Amino acid sequence: MADWKVISGGVTAPKGYKAAGMKAGLKPSGTPDLALVLSEVDAIAAGVFTTSVVRAAPVDYCRQRLQAKATARAILCNAGQANAATGEQGWIDTIESAQLLAQTLNISSDLVLIASTGVIGQRIKMEQLRAAIPSLVAQASEEGGDAAAKAICTTDLVAKSIALETTFGDRVVRMGGMCKGSGMIHPNMATMLAFVTCDAAVSPHLWQQMLSRAADRSFNQITVDGDTSTNDSLFALANGASRTPAITEMGAEAEKLEEMLTEICQYLAKAIARDGEGATCLVEVEVSGTKDEASAQQIAKTIVGSSLVKSAIFGRDPNWGRIAAAAGRAGVPFEQENLRIQLGEFLMMEQGQPLAFDRAAASDYMKKAAAGAYLKEDTVLIAVSVGNGPGSGKAWGCDLSYDYVKINAEYTT
């Protein structure tokens, strides 16, 4: 049983953090589009970024900042314009954004991290941003987590946040997180932004290692549509405000902190997959029996990312052959006579042999999952085993609906 509990507050649940979200006039829709996460003291900062060679200016800016100095005080995020593929002017806009916020906060600009999301090829609306920053800072509060989570959304249908609380000795430690993402989501990061706050004290090197591993078991294991974005950024701040002893090496406390971080990241990753553009249900694929975790994760990602599997789930068609085909092309060798496939409670293949099952009931299982009324709420569960090895891994995605095409066909129009 997990040694923590879920609490309210999102990114402002940990001690020493404030946040804000507001309408700055960056989005044509007029919805909230500018967010701030602020630590009252310098925080240890770690980051994981898109693997795309076409990167948004804020991605390169923050990578350089964190390589030079693994500390930060503030994260500024705009929604509406991705500031990706914007040339030299996009870089200049990013630097100015950091400087504007730093001046308002009276801190060094190298303590500011920048994130952007929206339409690729569009610069940030700097005139509106300049006018909004003083108000954004003035609105920052310990109750501002929900407003910030809403302000980073683009095509998201819901804001996504979580917070956990545990104890280290006699000290309470809290961790919070928020993210955005709905489309252009694929392993190796995606069009997602995620921000995690923590009030524990941890060494920079260890914090970065923890975040990288947590990302590999969460955000790098989700896919909506197979498209990796230009802007993905995952930031984690640890400000030590809980006054716990600093964690400087792996041990029981470090493992506990990393488990919390992984739980936060997996919750947010699944929330993104669940909110995939046009999606009607979350899909979870668990693979076991491989030689190692990486092999299982690779097969799981391939299955959950298969357009044919995703389409069959949307059509509530228990076509297990598509699952078998996806597993077979994942690039992980296994003997097909060891293949086992299960959809929910329906065993469809055992030791490489197809089994009789109630197709109507299996279809109904997926219908009920889409309605959020079966097993794990709205989740379609697929379990695959390929042998007797110790490796296991999970991946998450969603079904592929008609609405996905409609949303993306009309995205900039």
Task: Say if CB 179 and CB 54 are below 8 A apart.
Answer: no
| DSSP code per residue over 349-404 | EETTEE----HHHHHHHHHHHHTT-SSSTTEEEEEEE-SSEEEEEEEEEE---HHH
Catalytic residues: 191
Residue ranges with strand state E in 169-276? 171-180, 193-198, 233-238
Task: Say if CB 63 and CB 238 are below 8 A apart.
Answer: no
Give the contacts of 86 (CB within 8 A, at least 6 positions apart). 56, 57, 93, 121, 122, 123
89-112 as b/e, with b when 16 or more CB fall inside 10 Å? Answer: ebbebbeebbebbbebbebebebb
Q: Are strands 34-49 and 233-238 parallel, antiparallel or unpaired?
A: antiparallel
**235 three-class SS:** strand
Distance CA 323, CA 326 (A): 5
Distance CA 192, CA 115 (A): 10
**56 three-class SS:** strand
Distance CA 97, CA 74 (A): 12
Q: The tokens 């252009």 sit on which residue?
A: 184
